[in-house]
Homo-oligomer: A and B are copies of this chain.
Amino acid sequence: MYLTLDLQSDVPIYQQIRDRVVEQIAMGEARRGDPLPSTRQLAADFGVNFHTVNKAYDLLRQEGIIRINRKSGAVVHKDQHLGHPVDDAFVRAWRDRLRVLLAEATVQGVHHQDVLVHCAELLGTFKAGEDT
């Protein structure tokens, strides 16, 4: 699993790590049961603090996306093929964030049709994982 970070970004590093992991899973690059790099390994690769990676993994654990075992380290727990019912609370909060994002694009002059194209394109990159 290759992750890329931007240490200059104003997005917190732990958030970036978490985001990249989510994207990798969505793209099908990592599936249920697959192991994640060890926190120390990742921290060394990126040259960031060990606690920072830890925080990212803890976030993912709280979201139910990964499981952390003392022995085997972190493994992917949730992916798009799991078939579990979608959490209503998640959808509500997610939709709220989506509304803001779409509102921004609308105000900045992006046509609604183009917005949908962007969505479809991005979902397409995740679809590939679905077919596997």
Task: Please name all residues of chain B whose beta carbon is closer than 8 Å to the beta carbon of A94 when the two chains form the complex.
Answer: 101, 104-105, 108, 110
In A82-100, which residues have CB < 8 Å from any B CB? 82-87, 90-91, 94-95, 97-100
Residue of B nearest to A124 (CB): B112
Given the complex of chains A and B, what is the CA–CA distance between A91 and B104 in angstroms? Answer: 10
Is the pair B109, A116 in contact by a Cβ cutoff of 8 Å? Answer: no
Given the complex of chains A and B, what is the CA–CA distance between A65 and B105 in angstroms? Answer: 11
Question: A107-B26, A126-B103 in contact; A98/B119 too (CB < 8 A)?
Answer: yes
Instruction: Please report the total number of A residues contacting B with Cβ < 8 Å.
Output: 54
Q: Which of A25, A120, A126 has the most CB of B within 10 A?
A: A126
Cβ-neighbour of A12 out of B70, B95, B118, B126 (below 8 A): B70
Main secondary structure of the interface of A (DSSP, over half): helix
Question: A26-B102, A101-B98 in contact; A109/B80 too (CB < 8 A)?
Answer: yes
Q: Which residues of A contact B (CB under 8 A)?
A: 7-8, 10, 12, 19, 22-23, 25-27, 62, 65, 67-70, 78-80, 82-87, 90-91, 94-95, 97-110, 112, 115-116, 118-120, 122-123, 126-127, 130
